Amino acid sequence: MGDVTSPATYAPAAKSIKRPDPVAVGTIVWLGSEVMFFAGLFAIYFTLRSTSPELWAERSALLNVPFALVNTIILVLSSVTCQMGVFAAERAQPYTTRSPKYRWGMVEWFFLTFALGAIFVSGQVWEYAQLVAEGMPITSDAYASAFYLTTGFHALHVTGGLVAFLLVIGRAYAVKNFGAKEETTAIVVSYYWHFVDVVWIALFAVIYFLK
């Protein structure tokens, strides 16, 4: 009687578990703490509005709403250009390509985002100068202190984002092969930038439109 060969058996392949990137998770957690920080600043404004409505009405009349609206649109557009840079990073394209078709890379989109963000910060500085000239320095009253404190902290966050864009661009030039680490860095910076934009939209609505 010949040997009977039993059919081959195979162990099921282990399923690979795709874990979230720890840098991205850490950034999201940190942004959560930033939400609480800005929530405190919003609380200052709502408290001031309820306790000093006359001061609120008098000082808010000095604000240049059309200028602030244009500045806000510039910042929102920078969020769009930032995301376009992320799309370029996800397809591993750090620079502009001319074949098979002309398409901007991550570096070019992030440079444009940096320029728009710098214009926004410059606009805020110009607005501060105008308000001081009209008699509203930071030490004048509670409304002025709340206004400069809130918008000033946001401007610092925007400036931090601008520095982050320069670091991402510099890294793209420094590495020989644009890979997953560079892509993750671009995505993380975009999380921060979108957060800054959303916070400003809320600030803009409260400061310039809430009567």
111: left (phi over 0), alpha (psi -120 to 50) or beta: alpha
Produce one character per residue of 53-64: b if its CB has 16 or more CB atoms within 10 Å, e if not: eeebeebbeebe
- pLDDT value of residue 20: 61
- Residues 7-42 have pLDDT tens digits of 444 444 444 445 566 666 666 766 666 777 788 888
- pLDDT value of residue 211: 63
How far apart are alpha carbons 127 and 35 in whole angstroms? 25
How far apart are alpha carbons 135 and 144 in whole angstroms? 10
- pLDDT value of residue 47: 87
How far apart are alpha carbons 110 and 207 in whole angstroms? 29
- pLDDT value of residue 100: 67
- pLDDT value of residue 22: 65
The CATH architecture assigned to 22-209 reads Up-down Bundle (1.20)
CA 151, 156, 160, 162 dihedral sign is positive
R_g of the chain, CA atoms, integer Å: 25
For the chain, the structural domain boundaries read: 22-209
- pLDDT value of residue 137: 93
- pLDDT value of residue 170: 93
- pLDDT value of residue 46: 84
Q: Using the structure block, give the residue that is written with the tokens 């709502």.
A: 46
- pLDDT value of residue 128: 96
Average confidence (pLDDT) per 10 residues, the chain, 211 residues: 46 49 65 76 84 88 94 96 94 81 89 97 96 92 91 93 94 87 91 93 89 63
